[in-house]
Amino acid sequence: MIKDLLSILPQIIVLLTAMASLIFEMLRKASGSLITLIIGLAGASGLAISRLGTVGTAFSKTFRIDDLSLWAVIILCGTGILSALLMRQELKGTNREGTLYSLVAFSTLGSLLLAGSGDLMFLVLGVLINSLGGFAMAAYPKTDKATEGAIKYFVYGSVTGAVMLFGLTYWVGITGTTFIKDLTGITSQAFVLLIGFGGLITGLGYAASLFPFHFWTPDTFEGAPVSVAAFLSVTPKIGAFFALAQVMKDLPPLLDWNLILGILAVLSMTFGNIVALWQKNMLRLMAYSTVAQAGYFLLGIVAINQSGLALSGLIIFSLAYAAMNIGAFAVIQRTGNNIIYFEGLARKRPFMAVAMLVFLLSLVGIPPLAGFAGKFLLFGSAMDAGYTWLAVAAILNSVISLAVYLRIIFPMFYRKEPIYSFPTSGIITSVFTVCFIVTVLVGILLRFLV
């Protein structure tokens, strides 16, 4: 028991952090709440770094300690800290500000549980904890748009959660247990497996904004505070994909699951990129961009059993994705959410424009930036596993995504006179500087990560 508790110590720290920052909120000390969050998440992250390389399980194999769950702690705790800082800048002094920080920790915890699931119940629990925090954060400003976005998020979440639970009961039915590992032994009843798989994809796809379960994403992002949208674009997604990877490791190959995932990947990438081409609202544009990026994650999951590159690809791409997305949202939070605000940004704020350029090029996958490192490994793993068509589709999509992001890049640098001016903000600058450094260095320092 003690050994189990010790092995999930990072997750426990996140839980304690959530509770402690809630206590500070009760005392009406929002800054205390924020500081607790930062210290707690940084501690959890540091602990996870020191444990990298450990492999094991806890609580009679229901929770897995491996590269996925440890990296999830590192990436998501970092994401939590950076988004909380953005929230501080955006929502400082509002009523009940401290609850946000507590919710960040809770929601992060949900994703961490997902990332280490060895048991079907953890999948359900993880999605629930994760999205419950998300609903509340999205509705925080109490404006009409925010409420609408949160309600959409909530309704979609309830329905997909129910479908997921329904599907997973079939798996419990045929294995007799809730262990994911026990699925490996199943040798017949492909159809029953398929029902469970459908439920799983629905539930996790919702959290990950994967086409066709993404419908909440643009509205929720548009209504929610920018900082909350930043958080929602990263944390649930990475948790869900890591969970999917955990399941795919053990799913018996009675059906061609990879084909289903591959088709979903292509649809998600293509749909996200093409719809993003028409968006004028930056938040909606980024929402569709996250739908597209979700497709790239799937490449690593398709190849997870056949290629040694897949796991590192998934992890590096998650790290890159977190950095470039939070960074881009930080810049959007400063400039405002209409694409015209970016005109002439380079004249007014050269560093901010260069940072945004780096985030966007990294999202396209231009070397030597972090996004390239991740995509490169993912493409490589897909080809290694024999899914060249998938890599080709992903690569064609990178071209479309270039057109999407150039719509922002060009006016940033080549409109003569900036129309809008932006006050500086120390917090935002420091957040996107951190993201900028990570985005630039991940590719170069890859040897220490893979």
Partner 1 sequence: MNTSIPLLSIILFLPLAGAFLVTLFRSSGPKIANLVAVIFSFLSLITAIFLGIEGIGKGFSHIEEVNWIPSLGAAYRLGVDGISYIAVLLTTVLFMSSITFSTKTIGRKSEYMALFLLLETACLGVFMSLDLLLFYVFFEITLVGMYFIIAGWGHGNAKKAALMFFIYTLVGSLALLLALLGLYLNTDPHSFDMRVIIANPPTGWIGMAIFWGLLIAFAIKTPLFPFHSWLPLAHTKAPAAGSAILAGILLKLGAYGFIRFMLQMTPEAFRQYAWVVIIIAVISVIYGALVAMAQTDIKRMVAYTSINHMGYLAFGVAIAALQYDDSGVSALDGASLQIFSHGIVTGLLFLLCGSIQDRATTREMPALKGLLKAYPLLSGFFVLAASASLGLPGLAHFPAEFQIFLGGYAIYPWAVGVMLLGLVITSALYLRAIQGSFMGPMDSSVLKKMQDLNTSELLAFIPLIILIIMVGIFPDTILSFIHETTKAFMP
Which residues contact partner 1 (rule: CB under 8 A)? 309, 312, 361, 366-368, 372, 376, 379-380, 383-384, 388, 391-392, 395-396, 398-399, 402-403, 406, 410, 413-414, 443, 446-447, 450
- For 187, counting Cβ atoms within 10 Å of its Cβ (0-12 exposed, 13-18 middle, 19+ buried), the class is exposed
Tell me the closest approach of the beta carbon of residue 362 to partner 1, in angstroms.
Answer: 12
- Residue 421 CB, shortest distance to partner 1, in Å, is 20
CB of 160 or CB of 362, closer to partner 1: 362
State the minimum distance, in angstroms, from the CB of residue 317 to partner 1.
Answer: 15
What's 181's DSSP letter?
Answer: G
- How far is residue 80's CA from residue 443's CA, in Å, rounded to a whole number? 23
Q: Which is nearer to partner 1, 103 or 311 (CB)?
A: 311
- Toward partner 1, which CB reaches closer, 359 or 376? 376
> By the 8 A CB rule, do 23 and 105 touch?
no
Q: What's the N-to-C CA distance of the chain in angstroms?
A: 32
Please state, in angstroms and as integers, the Cα–Cα distance from residue 324 to each residue in 62, 88, 230, 319, 359, following that order. 33, 20, 10, 9, 5
Least distance (Å) between residue 392 CB and partner 1: 7
* Nearest distance from C-beta of residue 219 to partner 1, angstroms: 30
Report which of 57, 20, 22, 55 is spatially closest to residue 39, judged by C-alpha positions.
Answer: 20
Structure tokens at 285: 């544009």
Instruction: Pick between residue 264 and residue 383 the one whose CB is nearest to partner 1.
Output: 383
Q: Where are the alpha helices (DSSP H) in 176-281?
A: 190-207, 216-223, 226-250, 257-276
Bond preceding residue 225 cis, omega within 30 of 0: no
Residues in contact with 98: Cβ distance below 8 Å, sequence separation at least 6, in sequence order: 21, 22, 24, 25, 28, 29, 30, 32, 33, 34
Nearer to partner 1, 49 or 450 (CB): 450
- In which element (H, E) is residue 120 found? helix 120-138
Q: How far apart are CA 181 and CA 119, in angstroms?
A: 8
Choice between 14 and 408, CB closer to partner 1: 408
Q: How far is the CB of 390 from partner 1 (least distance, A)?
A: 11
- Whether omega before 368 lies within 30 degrees of 0, making that bond cis, reads yes
Residue closer to partner 1 (CB basis): 167 or 380: 380
**Comparison of 306 and 425: residue with beta carbon closer to partner 1:** 306
Cα distance between residue 165 and residue 150, in whole Å: 22
Quote the least distance from Cβ 327 to partner 1, whole Å: 18
Rounded Cα distance between 391 and 382, Å, is 6
CA angle 68, 74, 78 (to 5 degrees): 140
Tokens found for residue 400: 């479309």
Angstrom distance (rounded) from CA 390 to CA 259:
10
- Total H helices, total E strands in the chain: 18, 2
Closer residue to partner 1 (CB): 223 or 443: 443
Least Å from the CB of residue 384 to partner 1: 5
Give the H or E element holding residue 323.
helix 309-335
Nearer to partner 1, 14 or 377 (CB): 377
Min dist. Cβ of residue 356 to partner 1 (A): 14
Shortest Å, Cβ 415 to partner 1: 11
- Closest approach of partner 1 to the CB of residue 266, in Å: 15
Closer CB to partner 1, 131 or 307, in the complex:
307
